[in-house]
Amino acid sequence: MSSAINNLRAAFFSHSILTCTYEKKSFIIRNRFSHQFKRFHSSMGKHLAHSNTNVNGEGLPQLFSVAPMMDWTDNHYRTLARLISIHAWLYTEMVVAETIVHQKDNLDRFLAFSPIQHPIVLQIGGSNLKNLAKATELANAYSYDEINLNCGCPSGKVAGHGCFGARLMYDPKFVGDAMSAIASNCDVPVSVKCRIGVDDRDSYNELCDFIHTVVSRSPTAHFIIHARKALLSGLSPAENRNVPPLKYEYYFSLLRDFPEIRFTINGGITCISQVKASLREGAHSVMVGRAAYNKSVIVVRYLELDGIKLLAVRWSPKSYFVAMLSPKPLCSPWNTLGQVDSEIYGASRIHFSRRQVLEKYQIYGDSELGKYGPNKPNIRQIVKPLLHLFHSEPGNGLWKRKADTAMRHCTTIESFLEETLEAIPDSVLDSTLPIIPPGEEGVFFDKTLLPPPYKSCQVPGLCVRV
């Protein structure tokens, strides 16, 4: 089974398998590969082989991952992401434990994925130990590479009425017991994604208490740390991703105080140069969020107040916030994901274009349309991940207008692309990724801000005593 998966992945990622004549207004795909992909999809079902390997059969360290994002990192996005990067670790959007338990006769719709998406992590959410355990048991059959518990989402639906997500940081003993239950019902590593604090529980020692308690009550050995605290009232989820200040010094202090635990840094990292800078500073691994999907913010105006440079940012048509001006660039998702394999994993640079990516995605998309019934999924859902592929490029505005029109009447992804791609110049469609010049990483964080070592550790070997 693993050889079949690797053979498919090798074919899927070979940029010579789809040889097309590139002409303006022409988008020709070989049907042979499309049929091969469909046959493989239908034969695999939910019994997918566990294969935490790349096409050469080598293990993939979790140096770079794409964050779980509700309504964004679905099957369609993950397929597109994998076409751009072979090595990036992909996370599902959060699946609530109760959904898995109550939909046990319809699990493929929520849990099935193509084997090419390995390495992939399932994120689940919930606050009921029995349901978390049962959901993990059901998900285990799908052979994810890791199971992650959401302890960081500040959404009112999740942390408020749902009483999980970031609210779980108030109860580290429960989180420890939940992780023990999850680990007991799966065959893969488990992890926690959390904030550095919640509301007024935001000191470094309180964060360490949370980590220590979870580790002492479960086999959890990996934490993804969003380096902002969560404010559960007064801020929207979007504002919670930007208004609370980043405290990278908390993350790097955790590396010092818990040397046997693996920590992934998350929050405010928008491009590969920042990923490289954080790894150079000693980060175990890096998780990138919306920079791997879309251009998340628009700088509206630069300000200066008492010598401090600020920028006003538009988050949505009616939402603005002011933040300290950072020299860190905000990069496009094409450049972010496209640089991962060569810049982070040291793989040989493969010169491929967005046209080639779209050719392969079209094959996937047309094989998925209506898979779970009429319009499940539909054209709009499958096209959604493509809409930021040409961000800031010539023709992007016209492409999006054409896409909005085409989604209303096109019945296949092939016809959608034929109708819309005429808006994008050939020079953009056929261009390959630029090489990042050396020495652009800069300084990642101020080491003088590191808090004192954690003093309350009681488990020998897990953290540094002072």
Catalytic residue check, 153: yes
Judge contact between 188 and 147, C-beta under 8 A: yes
Judge contact between 361 and 420, C-beta under 8 A: no
Judge contact between 463 and 257, C-beta under 8 A: yes
- Torsion angle of alpha carbons 142, 3, 73, 231, nearest 10°? 70
The verdict on whether omega for the bond into residue 377 sits within 30 degrees of 0, i.e. cis, is yes
Q: What is the phi/psi pair of residue 233, to 5°?
A: -140, 140
> In which order are the strands placed within the sheet that holds 319-324?
298-305, 308-316, 319-324
Judge contact between 224 and 194, C-beta under 8 A: yes
- In this structure, the chain runs to a length of 466
Long-range contacts of 436-441 (CB under 8 A, 24+ apart): 436/272, 436/273, 436/339, 436/343, 440/273, 441/273, 441/274, 441/276, 441/277, 441/280
d(CA 316, CA 318): 5
The identity of residue 99, as a single letter, is T
Tokens of 83: 């076409």
Tokens of 219: 């086999």
Catalytic residue among 20, 151, 153, 331: 153
Residues labelled catalytic:
153
